[in-house]
Chain A
Amino acid sequence: MNVAIVKYNAGNIGSVENAVRRMGIEPMVTDDVEKIQSADRVIFPGQGEAHSTMTYLKAHRLDEVIVGLKQPVLGICIGMQLLCRHSEEQDTDCLGVFDVDVKRFIPLQHEDKVPQMGWNTIEDTKTALFEGFDKPEFVYFIHSFYVPTCDWTIATTNYIQPYSSALHKDNFYATQFHPEKSGQVGEQILKNFIEL
């Protein structure tokens, strides 16, 4: 199993690398187009800000490469948001795999702290990415922007309002939460992705 992790100017990539290693797979962290295109699985991870990461992806031609991938792809956190059409973060046009716009959390009360940081549940999970999940499970989130529920929603989370905590379309999967930091539940999700 050949797993490529897209290397770009986002943080937290090492955490995903460590998580894949814990599954007994040695991943390639790379921005090499051929290596990414020929991998069995591609993970597009990261923590960061939409505008500067999109600028970097375009400058390195990784935008076209990611959109054109045919093997299973997993976007994580900013990776998921970048796979959407547009983000309110710095009014950024993104990759457009998922035809939905990324919004900023607007707090309704004092308890609605932004960013959402910590453990929250995913519900109504669908697809093989969540194989074996039959009840709401806690996963780890850090984010200030969210994807509303839409046709591609395969998991929902409630924070301020219900929103998409995971998306799926064709070979593209994406999670707003960090499976690499979500304990055993997160490990199961990564394992499911590898076994798709």
Chain B
Amino acid sequence: MAKRIIPCLDIKDGQTVKGTNFVNLRQAGDPIELGKLYSEQGADELVYLDITASHEGRKTFTELVKRIAQEINIPFTVGGGINELSDVDRLLNAGADKVSINSAALRRPELIDEIAKNFGSQVCVVAIDAKCEDDTVHENGDPRIDGDWVCYVNGGRVPTQYKLFDWAKEANERGAGEILFTSMNHDGVKRGFADAALRKLADSLTIPVIASGGAGAKEHFRDTFLNGHSDAALAASVFHFGEIPIPELKQYLQGEGVNVRL
């Protein structure tokens, strides 16, 4: 099985939020144009994250999901604002292959069971934003795994009582199909993924683990696959700004002994 490279697109009111410098796009903010480009470049999956809060925005996003499903020929996951089973039903009906749930699952873990039972585990991605609270461990940019990793909700703004490894195991047991773990310590720093924690997750869970947060160089992807045992790696800005072209990344990974789809 190939390790997966997953670009993540943040969507607000139907447009991609973070700017891109793809000059060959007719409309840089068009999520479908960008998704198609990534697909042609060899992205293995796409994640579209709705960061709109309003009800109107939700409807816009659902319409967008329908268009993505019509145009894109690789699997895609949608997330953001999914609170109940009817949201999942609506987005899967619009053509999404998977849904990613985060805060809603921490507030009501039974939502995972319900999604798995109604639509199958394979559609249920549980996203976890967690932060290692032990600030003595940052010398080499990689927090110790035995530090306390606290799960956050509301886009990383509100801490919960849940700890990363316990919560990931519970989500796995409840029927999650994949875990998407974002290290808040690593996110945006571009010094690599949280490989020690990822490895502990990947080695203990029975479902695939997607690494998120920290990609800044091609080596970081190699490291998370070979050392972090991640099944997939997600990134946004390094792809959107063309810092790491996907074809080049995949060639590099293949040369480093990582099984990738070329």
Contacts and interface: CB of A to CB of B under 8 A. Distances in A.
Interface string A173-192: 00000001111101100000
Given A110-B203, A187-B73, A117 B177 contact: yes
A12 B94 CA distance: 11
Contacts of A115: 121-122, 177
B1 A184 contact: no
B190 interface: no
A32 B119 CA distance: 26
A21 B261 contact: no
Contact of A181 (B70, B73, B232): B73
Interface string B1-27: 110100000000000000000000000
B85 to A, nearest CB: 15
A90 to B, nearest CB: 14
B43 to A, nearest CB: 9
A181 B208 contact: no
Interface string A149-193: 000000000010000000000000000000011111011000000
Interface residues of A, number: 29
Contact of B2 (A12, A22, A118, A186): A118
A118 B73 contact: no
Interface in B103-125: 119-122
A183 B39 contact: yes
A30 interface: no
A22 B73 contact: yes
Contacts, number: 69
Given A47-B120, A183-B39, A21 B70 contact: yes
Interface residues of B, number: 29
A56 interface: no
Contact of B97 (A15, A119, A187): A15
Contacts of A118: 1-2, 4, 44, 208, 231-232
Nearest to B43: A183
A18 interface: yes
A186 B207 CA distance: 25
A138 B121 CA distance: 23
A104 interface: no
Interface in B182-219: 203, 206-208
B244 interface: no
Nearest to B92: A11
Given A120-B1, A138-B261, A183-B39, A14 B95 contact: yes
A130 B120 CA distance: 30
A1 B138 CA distance: 63
B148 to A, nearest CB: 26
B75 interface: yes
Give 7 nearest A-B pairs by CB, closest first: A138-B261, A119-B2, A119-B261, A18-B70, A181-B75, A142-B122, A118-B1
Given A119-B1, A120-B2, 7 more contacts: A110-B203, A113-B206, A117-B178, A118-B44, A118-B208, A118-B232, A187-B73
